[in-house]
């Protein structure tokens, strides 16, 4: 490409103008709102914002503290099962443990059961993308071209359904709750459906279309750490098995932190549990399947209620209180500076 040589304009030639067009936009003459901030408007804004944030924060903290919650760590209490699960060759051996606890007061209202994991990092970049959304929509896809590796297929070429590290590491402990009034044993009815987000259940997850779900997954195999294929996740309810299983859907929504809890069950408010959980002795019966000792993790089971602001997490309330305190202190600092400058101005005017 040849270089172009520019020559200065000859005498009598018009020099090109470099000025912008004479328009309101380019001349910056568009109408604009230019607020004239006074000390009264500035201080009132800071104090009103601070008062609002403090009020909302206190309400949120009081609401979070009103949540009734009981949390039980069963990592050590089921130590025998934990040692059994350290050896992956024992995956087909069942192991059960029981944990007794007492509720001193009634837990009224809706009661939710969660399982909690500690030191389990779901936010690793390779782990987060290790899934096939097209497969989870029930489409016939080649998982070898997805991000599921190394959990895509077995050595004989049989693809995994579902594929990926997230699905393979699905939490699979079974937790049942029993009420023990007067030396009798009553199993607390728990709801295992209706716990996932509506958009996940009805939009993001679909089973393959077929007259029979087992035939829809023909030619595939379960992930290595699973004990049964995906179409047998819930043998009692056909609407809650396969990719649309609530436990599976909730697990596939990964957590941003290493310590988290996922909704597992809801107490069905029938019979003597119509008002919630009555005070008394209870027992958790746990089928221990999910190993945590290799990554130094912990497992919890949580019974909790909810309020209008959510669960027992006070973070949002503390954040509001912090912002309100900062805004109020800033208002006082500005007031002090204004008074000091006003005194100096008055002094110099007198001089």
pTM for this prediction: 0.81
Question: Mean pLDDT across the stretch 81-98?
Answer: 85
- The Cα 138–Cα 132 span in angstroms is 10
Question: Quick check: 26 pLDDT over 60?
Answer: yes
Domain boundaries, the chain: 70-308
**Which of 110, 101, 254, 282 has its CA nearest to residue 187?**
282
> Which of 174-178, 282-286, 336-340 shows the lowest mean pLDDT across its residues?
336-340
Start-end of H helices in 189-309? 198-199, 213-216, 246-252
- The Cα 70–Cα 113 span in angstroms is 10
Predicted local distance difference test score (pLDDT) of residue 82:
87
Residue 271, C-beta contacts closer than 8 angstroms, at least 6 positions apart = 189
Confidence tier at 91 by pLDDT (50, 70, 90): confident
Residue 48, C-beta contacts closer than 8 angstroms, at least 6 positions apart = none
Question: Quick check: 206 pLDDT over 80?
Answer: yes
Judge contact between 81 and 285, C-beta under 8 A.
no
Predicted local distance difference test score (pLDDT) of residue 294:
85
Predicted local distance difference test score (pLDDT) of residue 343:
75
Predicted local distance difference test score (pLDDT) of residue 347:
55
Tell me the β-bridge partners of 115.
262, 301
Question: Mean pLDDT across the stretch 187-193?
Answer: 94
**Tokens 């328009």, residue located:** 23
Predicted local distance difference test score (pLDDT) of residue 293:
87
Predicted local distance difference test score (pLDDT) of residue 341:
84
Question: Quick check: 350 pLDDT over 70?
Answer: no
In the predicted model, what is the mean pLDDT of the chain? 89
Predicted local distance difference test score (pLDDT) of residue 12:
58
DSSP assignment, residue 51? H
Question: SS3 breakdown of the chain: % helix, strand, coil, rounded to 5?
Answer: 35, 20, 50
Q: CB 285: neighbour CB atoms within 10 A?
A: 14
**Cis status of the peptide bond prior to 30, with omega within 30 of 0:** no
């Amino acid at each position: 490409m040849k270089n172009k040589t520019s020559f200065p304009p000859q005498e009598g030639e018009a020099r090109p103008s470099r000025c912008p067009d004479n328009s309101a936009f380019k001349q910056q003459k568009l109408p604009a709102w230019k607020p004239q901030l006074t000390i009264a408007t500035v201080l009132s804004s800071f104090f009103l914002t601070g008062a609002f944030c403090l009020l909302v924060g206190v309400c949120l903290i009081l609401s979070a503290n009103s949540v009734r919650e009981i949390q039980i760590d069963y990592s050590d209490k089921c130590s025998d099962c934990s040692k059994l699960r350290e050896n992956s060759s024992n995956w087909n051996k069942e192991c059960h443990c029981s944990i007794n606890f007492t509720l001193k007061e009634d837990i009224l209202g809706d009661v939710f059961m969660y399982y909690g994991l500690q030191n389990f990092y779901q936010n690793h970049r390779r782990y987060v993308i290790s899934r096939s959304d097209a497969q989870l929509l029930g489409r016939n896809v080649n998982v070898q071209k997805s991000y599921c590796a190394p959990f895509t297929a077995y050595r004989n070429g049989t693809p995994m359904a579902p594929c990926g590290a997230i699905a393979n590491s699905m939490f699979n402990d079974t937790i049942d709750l029993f009420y023990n009034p007067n030396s009798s044993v009553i199993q607390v009815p728990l709801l295992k459906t209706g716990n996932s987000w509506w958009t996940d259940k009805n939009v993001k997850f679909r089973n393959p279309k077929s007259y029979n779900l087992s035939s829809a997954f023909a030619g595939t195999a379960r992930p290595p750490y699973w004990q049964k294929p995906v179409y047998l996740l819930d043998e009692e309810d056909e609407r809650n098995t396969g990719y649309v299983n609530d436990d599976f859907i909730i697990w596939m929504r990964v957590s941003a932190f290493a310590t988290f809890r996922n909704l597992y069950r809801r107490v069905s408010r029938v019979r003597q549990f119509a008002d919630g959980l009555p005070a008394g002795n209870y027992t958790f019966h746990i089928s221990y399947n999910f190993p945590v000792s290799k990554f130094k993790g912990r497992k919890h089971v949580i019974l909790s209620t909810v309020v209008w602001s959510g669960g027992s997490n006070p973070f949002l309330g503390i954040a509001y209180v912090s912002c309100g305190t900062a805004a109020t202190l800033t208002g006082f600092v500005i007031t002090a500076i204004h008074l000091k400058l006003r005194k100096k101005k008055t002094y110099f005017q007198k001089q």
